[in-house]
Amino acid sequence: MSNTINSALLKKMFLAGAKNLEAKKEWINELNVFPVPDGDTGTNMTMTIMSAAKEVVNLGDPVDMLTLAKVISSGSLRGARGNSGVILSQLLRGFTKVMKENDELDITLLAEACEKAVESAYKAVMKPKEGTILTVAKGMCDKAVSLKESGCDDLQVFLEEIIRQGDIVLEMTPDMLPVLKQAGVVDSGGQGLMQVVKGAYDAFMGKEIDYDIVQSTGNGPSDVNANNDIDTANIKFGYCTEFIIMLEKQFNVKHEMDFKAFLESIGDSIVLVADDEIVKVHVHTNDPGMAIQRALKYGALSNMKIDNMRLEHQEKIFKASEKAAAGVNDGTGLAEDVDVTIEACGDAKQESKGAQPVAPSAEKKEVGFIAVSVGEGMDEIFTSLGVDIIISGGQTMNPSTEDFVNAANNLNAENIFVFPNNKNIVMAANQAKFLVEDKNIVVIPTKTVPQGITAIINYVPDMSVEENENIMNTEILNVKTGEVTYAVRDTQIDDKVITQGDYMGIGDKGILSVGRDMDEVVVNMVDEMVDDDSELISIYFGADVAEDKANEICDLITEKYSDCDVELQFGGQPIYYYIISVE
């Protein structure tokens, strides 16, 4: 067995790691400390690595190490979701810094790559906490360096020992974080990382890997040009446009993201694959000339192909009618073609389900607002407060870094305030801030929807951006938030015994109330939040709560806290019956 890893093997190892994580994502989701029905660590990490895996598959073979490194780094960066996904993207980014400089990786270079990976990940976290994915990564890195320094010269042994050490550190995470120990679980992010590494090791050992899951998540330009398989009955954009840009100037990650955002503003079904010399582009649009004109900024074009899909559809209907008239039925009707469309051209649109970018506004504004929201009522509240772009997301679907970048690129404003409204989305928003160079992005670290509402309400148009940022950051600290949902498993947290099916009131720092009676759980949660300084209680009821029932809860709280103003509004959020804030 070879003692080095070349680009072809590393490609297989990366895809195998991605596939193994994807296969284990639900198990990893269940490791979340709080037994709520929205565990998303496995989902976030999977979507992050799959963003890169799709592009790696599109590269084809052979592939050089530099191109592979660039695609892994940029793909995971754009697709990063949630804190665990952002950290995973930074681990990959650091690792690729060593990859791209070498045609093959030996033990010495692998140890160096591990060091770069951990260094990048720790830098991305403002206050690193031990007992997390960071600790597991550092444990494997330390082992890699130790083996290198001890003179280990067997790559198989090197990889086996690193994995063994990772498992050991993972099992120690409950001793580092009491909340893990009380819940009886190891860190979910650390477990996700171990599944990536173990999958990669399987490929290194020559294990037969089925890549169907990875390959089905994306299609390259060569896969999506078979328009005879596309149902265009209700096509919004009529021209399937493909070309290759022969690069004549720099085309870095920011250029790639800007170009992709532009394409999203004029079309859909976008696939964009870039390396150091060429960029392959596929887009459905009503104005191919706009795509071509923008592409010419980066270089000369070749392999240009534009098909009128509406015309093709008319021909298809005509032929189908002829067959029907002749009594012919060959099993290839339009209904079956719909399924093909979803596979062939749907993935580019599905990649950023959380974002709802709009076309760039015509008139440039001095200040714009982007907010993450979930639920019809919450969306309406943010819109009424002046938010320009709503990114749909939250606990069940954390938006990616690319969602924020695209939204910012589609908002014609000089300064843009971003409200993540979830503690697991703040890092992705911050990461996007550094990828948008022509606008001033200000991320207000709102960890809940009520904090986001309070922040926007306190915006003062006559004040400077800096003054508003300071005011918002101060005001959100005065907002306490509680959320009511149900438990999906038995556990014990914050000295509270929780049984599957219990209602739980979860506060900013832990479980506030537990019980079988929802009204009692809601009132007890509010009891824990209200103090002598409290003046306002805002209640947002979810999609699964009847308005009459919400009014009853509102009356109970109003009667009990007569000194506070109590407001009831429809939030429409899933999973959480009530979101309640106290200020």
The owner of tokens 């999506």 is 224
DSSP 38: T
- At residue 226, the pLDDT reads 34
Alpha-carbon span 387 to 392, nearest angstrom = 13
The contacts of residue 583 (CB under 8 Å, 6+ apart) are: 454, 478, 479, 480, 534, 535, 536, 538
DSSP 132: S
Angle 169-170-172 from CA coordinates, rounded to 5°: 65
Q: Is 478 exposed, middle or buried (0-12, 13-18, 19+ CB in 10 A)?
A: middle
- At residue 214, the pLDDT reads 45
The helix/strand count (H/E) of the chain reads as 22, 18
pLDDT, tens digit, for every residue of 250-275? 888 778 878 888 888 888 877 777 76
Q: How many residues does the chain have?
A: 583
Question: Per-residue pLDDT for 282 more than 60?
Answer: yes
Radius of gyration of the chain (CA): 26
DSSP 251: -
For the segment 159-187, the average pLDDT, to the nearest whole number, is 92
Residue 273's beta-bridge partner residues? 280
Structure tokens at 65: 């190490």
Question: Per-residue pLDDT for 227 more than 90?
Answer: no
- At residue 234, the pLDDT reads 52
Backbone phi, psi, residue 283, to 5°: -155, 145
**Contact 408/416 with Cβ under 8 angstroms?**
yes
Can you list the domains of the chain with their CATH numbers? Answer: 5-215 (1.25.40.340), 227-348 (3.30.70), 365-478 (3.40.50.510), 481-582 (3.30.1180)
**Cβ neighbour number for residue 165 with a 10 Å cutoff:** 19
Q: Give the three-class secondary structure for 408.
A: helix
Alpha-carbon span 455 to 496, nearest angstrom = 33
- Confidence label for 105 from pLDDT (cuts 50, 70 and 90): very high
- Confidence label for 526 from pLDDT (cuts 50, 70 and 90): very high
Structure tokens at 299: 């270089």
Question: Per-residue pLDDT for 216 more than 80?
Answer: no
Determine the distance from the C-alpha atom of residue 376 to the mean position of all C-alpha atoms in its chain, rounded to a whole number.
21
Q: Which helix (H) or strand (E) holds 245?
A: strand 239-247
Task: Using the Cα atoms of residue 290, residue 291, residue 294 and residue 299 in order, give the sign of their dihedral.
Answer: negative
Question: Average per-residue pLDDT in the chain?
Answer: 84
Structure tokens at 139: 């444990």
For the segment 275-291, the average pLDDT, to the nearest whole number, is 83
More confident residue, 583 or 489: 583
- For 150, half-sphere exposure in the C-beta direction (CA atoms, 13 angstrom radius) is 11
Backbone phi, psi, residue 168, to 5°: -65, -45
- At residue 312, the pLDDT reads 57
